[in-house]
Amino acid sequence: MKYIFSICLIFSLFLVEAQDTSQKGELAKQTTTLKNVADSTSTKAIIPDNGKLKTVKLPDEKQNTAVPVKTDRYGLRVGVDLFKLSRALYDKDYKGIEFVGDYRLTKKYFLAAEIGNENKTTDDTRLNFTTKGSYLKAGFDYNAYENWLDMENIISIGLRYGFSTFNQELNSYKIYNANPYFGEIPAIASGEKFNGLTASWIEVVAGIKAKVFDNVFVGFSFRLNRLVSNKEPDNFENLYIPGFNRTYDGDFGVGFNYTVSYFIPIYKKKVIPVVVPKKGVTKK
């Protein structure tokens, strides 16, 4: 009986020790898990305190993440329309030149202008006339393209107000004959001149400019025009207006240019993105 009691006592002590060891192991495991949570949140942690869980606030951890800084350049871009210059090489009835320019006003908006001169002879069905004059267009462009870092490409839509002063010379004309029984009537030479003519219009512009070399850009644009005012001589219609181009249905016109330009930087602005810090997560 004495031996049986001793064996039971030893077995009971063994169970108590095993249970205590198990509790210590579980507590150590919880401590390790909670430490990992504390390291991940960096703001609050839960640590054991004599067998109880206690929440404490840890010092904020400063993130040392490098953020790339984007620099925007502001300045003046000036250039020339290659389309008008090259047209004189294959069209003997045309001479013209156009200078273009824009100034970066804000991140997305550019002040823009074009100034030029044209001398064009138009040989129409019934008329042959020469138009000479100069024009000026002024307005703005909005850049809809979001550049990466130091890229400076432009995909824009804009608006212009154009004004032209010019003169017309009627070289020859043909009288319309509804029943040409004796054949077509020969053209009649005229030489009549109409001076002091003016016109103004609104122009919608869509274009692209791409940086090909350092400060050198090439681009092209399409234009849709609508006349606002048009001073015409008696018995003669302005079928061609410098800067506006050929008139269609009396009020509408279209245009195109292909430019090369050079950018003159004036100053720079750094664009630093706003970084929102991550908030800590508290687990209970």
- Assess whether pLDDT exceeds 90 at residue 78: yes
Would you place residue 62 in the very low, low, confident or very high pLDDT band (cuts 50, 70, 90)? Answer: low
pTM over 0.75: no
Mean pLDDT of the chain: 80
- Residue-level pLDDT at 96: 96
Residues 228-248: pLDDT tens digits?
999 998 888 899 999 999 987
Give the pLDDT band of residue 133 (cuts 50, 70, 90): very high
On the question of pLDDT at 155 being above 60, the answer is yes
pLDDT of 128 higher than 60:
yes
The predicted pLDDT at position 283 comes to 46
Q: Residue 244 has what pLDDT?
A: 96
Rounded to whole angstroms, the Cα distance separating 280 from 154 reads 41
